[in-house]
Amino acid sequence: MTVWQTARFAIRLDRPQVMGVVNVTPDSFSDGGRYVDAAGAIAHCDALVREGAQILDIGGESTRPGARAPGVEEELHRVLPVLRHAVGLGVPVSVDTSQPRVMQAALDLGVDIVNDVRALQRDGALDVLAGHANAGVCLMHMQGEPGSMQTTPGYDDVVAEVREFLTARLCALRARGIAANRIVLDPGIGFGKTVGHNLSLLRRQRELLDLGAPLLVGWSRKSTLGAVTGRPTSQRQAVSVAAALLAVQRGAKIVRVHDVAATVDALALWRAIEGDLEAEEE
């Protein structure tokens, strides 16, 4: 059975896993400012676990197009109290950050996973993960930086280029002695990609399944879903659930979502029909 090895938990990937998003930010694209105080974010962690989140992903930097990165002290101030609470909830906890100092502090607190939209490319990030024997890591593809990534995204073949990037990052981690079963990969929906690029990544997602690591995807409430439906972020729950389901059907093992309860229900139906992922593959 495939597992994602993380600091405290070996996460079974024979069934789809729902990662619930907790943004401790004033400016996230769909829920910015709702959970910026620690008490609100902590209550949100509790609520997502009650709704059935199997992993919590907690971040203090908005990476929405045009976002300005907070300083490292500000990011630590936002996330540490929330992470401290979340590690007591009995589910794996992930920190969504690109800052090595935030990664280090989080892992020292007992956080299980580092989710980095910059795929550990900042100086010192690989060292932090190499120094934590069991921590899990998610490596995501992004073209450019949040401040400018949606200005002119361009690819000859988006799927081939995402494949190439993720393969290179996976090799870089393996070369530092990070075990393959600690790593998951993410095509980075909405990160330096047009609507067409994002839809191609879902249509052709199966081409990303043989890279040597499980796939995590985050479609939740993203603007491509707004382009398809004409709906604002606050009304994208149904289409987000549909996107998560399509991603799982095409082989994703983990879906990163805001609307946990609705996604858990949809995946319960999917499992009732399809069975466990690996049973299907056998």
Q: Which residues are catalytic?
A: 222, 256
Helix extents (H) in the chain: 38-51, 72-86, 100-109, 125-130, 158-175, 195-203, 223-229, 237-249, 260-274, 277-281
Question: How many other C-beta atoms can be found within 10 angstroms of the C-beta atom of residue 203?
Answer: 12
**Residue span binding ligand HH2 (CB under 6 A) among the ranges 48-56, 60-68, 203-211, 230-238:** 60-68
Secondary structure (3-state) at 33: coil
Q: What x-and-dash track marks residues 33-52 binding ligand HH2 by CB under 6 A?
A: --------------------
Per-residue binder mask for ligand HH2 (CB under 6 A), 90-109, x = binder: ------x-------------
Instruction: Output the six-digit token pair for 59.
Output: 């971040």
Find the residue with minimal CB distance to ligand HH2.
218
Compare residues 234 and 273 and give the one whose CB is closer to ligand HH2: 234
Contacts of 125 (CB under 8 A, 6+ apart): 98, 100, 103, 116, 118
Nearest-angstrom CA–CA distance, 146 and 126:
21
With CB under 6 A as the contact rule, which of the stretches 59-67, 100-108, 198-206, 274-282 interacts with ligand HH2? Answer: 59-67
Using the rule CB under 6 A, is 6 a contact of ligand HH2? no
* 141 is a contact residue toward ligand HH2 (CB under 6 A): no
Distance CA 130, CA 133 (A): 7
Give the binding site for ligand HH2 (CB under 6 A).
21, 23, 25, 28-30, 59, 62-64, 96, 115, 117, 138, 140, 186, 188-189, 216, 218, 256
